Amino acid sequence: MANKIKVKTTLVEMDGDEMTRIMWKMVKDKLLSPYLDMDIDYYDLHVKHRDDTDDQVTIDAAHAIMKYGVGIKCATITPNKDRVKEYKLKKAWKSPNGTIRAMLDGTVFRKPILVNNIKPAVSSWKKPITIGRHAYGDVYNNFEMQIPGAGKLEIVFTPRNGSKAKNILVKDFPSAGIIQINHNLDKSILDFAKACFTYALSEKIDLWFSTKDTISKIYDAGFREIFNREFERNWKEKFEKAGIEYFFTLIDDAVARIMKSEGGMLWALKNYDGDVMSDMIASASGSLAMMTSVLVSPNGWFEYEAAHGTVQKHYYKHLKGEETSSNSMALIFAWTGGLRKRGEMDGTPEVIKFADKLEKAAIATVENGTMTGDLLALAEKKSTNKKVNTEGFINAIAATLQKKFND
């Protein structure tokens, strides 16, 4: 293209590992570079480079997202014992996603990419359902204990300000049993609420939040109250203006309603509920390669990525010279998500338009029957369906995109 579209502010790019690293480069070379003039702040999160820098590169990348506001990340290896051996690493470095999430203090939102020739398992779902999972506390940071026999369980809270400790009887056990103590922090719940309101407003979709507040009148109802207070104080008007709603309901009711809904909302859930429901939504919507993911920080920073990993098995095939058919949809949508957000922040509608065009080209390619193996197995059977290899898929999207620019 003669005149490339200028992306005004620097984008933070985080490169990754294995098959996704290969697809990442193809996506940039064939779908982005021909059309966009981007200023990129590049961080190579290849596992070997993280090792060489004692993981400083991951920390630098997170700081860059704080500086510029939008980062786009490829999938990365979280090293375990096998990976330490395979790549001769100094140690099993922490998950880059965990490190970045802790630094940005964010919440992860996952949304499936829908195409009309792959039907969700729930026939009423027409629009994607996004899950926002609280990533702190509850059963994931709990205290558990076996109670060996009859006896009293008491807890003591000792305030740090020196006021008198309180001793409360939890249960007078008649016989052996088990206990579990969960906790959460008002600050963490509030940050979660802010991230959910931010995301819903940025996507202009309704926000649903559900807990078991009728039974858990302090704990689950506490979540409800923090969300309500934050909504009334800081979001109500913005939501009205955007024509979207905040809706709280009992989790049982939410589950029943979701199954009959058209989709299209953000469903915010407590840690455990989100863990379980996100797998249900993912499986009902199709393939892992069609799930996008964005980390939204309460400070207004965004990090986009695919929900899947580095597709290790395909990479080993690729190294052996065998043909692969890996799906780059979620990686492409990580870029379009980041570009669209950049365009919104910068006030550059032409960048937003490009992101829309690229997404439409990718979806149209699949809907016209050209797809990778994972999708072919799920798609409605048609004689025009054609399985393509990793590069062939990106080439087909590039051709569709080119046509959109020529039209």
Site residues, ligand NAP (CB under 6 A)? 75-78, 97, 288-289, 305, 308-313, 326-327, 374
Stretch that binds Mg ion, among 16-24, 97-105, 268-276, 308-316 (CB under 5 A): 268-276
344 is a site residue for Mg ion (CB under 5 A): no
List the single partner that 279 binds among Mg ion, ligand NAP, none, CB under 5 to 8 Å by kind.
Mg ion
Q: For the segment 22-51, give every residue that binds Mg ion (CB under 5 A).
A: none
List the single partner that 308 binds among Mg ion, ligand NAP, none, CB under 5 to 8 Å by kind.
ligand NAP
Three-state secondary-structure class, residue 177: strand
Question: Which phi-psi region, left, alpha or beta, contains residue 228 (left: φ > 0; alpha: ψ -120 to 50)?
Answer: alpha
279 is a site residue for Mg ion (CB under 5 A): yes
Binds Mg ion by CB under 5 A, chosen from 41, 105, 225, 275? 275
Cα atoms found within 13 Å of the Cα of residue 51, Cβ hemisphere only: 18
In the complex, the smallest distance separating the C-beta of residue 393 from ligand NAP, rounded to whole angstroms, is 9
> What's the sign of the alpha-carbon dihedral 294, 297, 298, 300?
negative
Which CA distances in Å does 99 have to 95, 108, 335, 338? 6, 13, 21, 20
**CA distance linking residue 394 with residue 389, whole number of Å:** 9
Stretch that binds Mg ion, among 35-43, 119-127, 245-253, 272-280 (CB under 5 A): 272-280
In the complex, the smallest distance separating the C-beta of residue 307 from ligand NAP, rounded to whole angstroms, is 7
Residue closest to ligand NAP (Cβ): 309
Q: Of 73 and 110, which has the nearer Cβ to Mg ion?
A: 110
Closest among 116, 20, 120 to 73, alpha carbons compared: 20
**CA distance linking residue 376 with residue 197, whole number of Å:** 36
Q: Of 93 and 235, which has the nearer Cβ to ligand NAP?
A: 93
In the complex, the smallest distance separating the C-beta of residue 108 from ligand NAP, rounded to whole angstroms, is 10
Stretch that binds Mg ion, among 128-136, 207-215, 270-278, 399-407 (CB under 5 A): 270-278
283 is a site residue for Mg ion (CB under 5 A): no
Closest among 302, 292, 319 to 17, alpha carbons compared: 319
In the complex, the smallest distance separating the C-beta of residue 11 from ligand NAP, rounded to whole angstroms, is 18
Q: Of 128 and 286, which has the nearer Cβ to ligand NAP?
A: 286
Residue 139: DSSP 8-state: G
List the single partner that 151 binds among ligand NAP, Mg ion, none, CB under 5 to 8 Å by kind.
none
In the complex, the smallest distance separating the C-beta of residue 78 from ligand NAP, rounded to whole angstroms, is 4
**CA distance linking residue 103 with residue 71, whole number of Å:** 13
Residue 226 CB neighbours (<10 A)? 18
In the complex, the smallest distance separating the C-beta of residue 106 from ligand NAP, rounded to whole angstroms, is 14
In the complex, the smallest distance separating the C-beta of residue 281 from Mg ion, rounded to whole angstroms, is 11
Tally: H helices and E strands in the chain: 15, 18
Residue 175: DSSP 8-state: S
Q: Of 105 and 275, which has the nearer Cβ to Mg ion?
A: 275
Q: Of 97 and 370, which has the nearer Cβ to ligand NAP?
A: 97
Q: Of 95 and 117, which has the nearer Cβ to Mg ion?
A: 95
List the single partner that 275 binds among Mg ion, ligand NAP, none, CB under 5 to 8 Å by kind.
Mg ion
Residue 344 CB neighbours (<10 A)? 16
Is 164 within 8 Å of 230 (Cβ atoms)?
Answer: no
Tell me the DSSP string of 332-358. HHHHHHHHHHHHHHHT-HHHHHHHHHH
* Interface with Mg ion (CB under 5 A): 275, 279
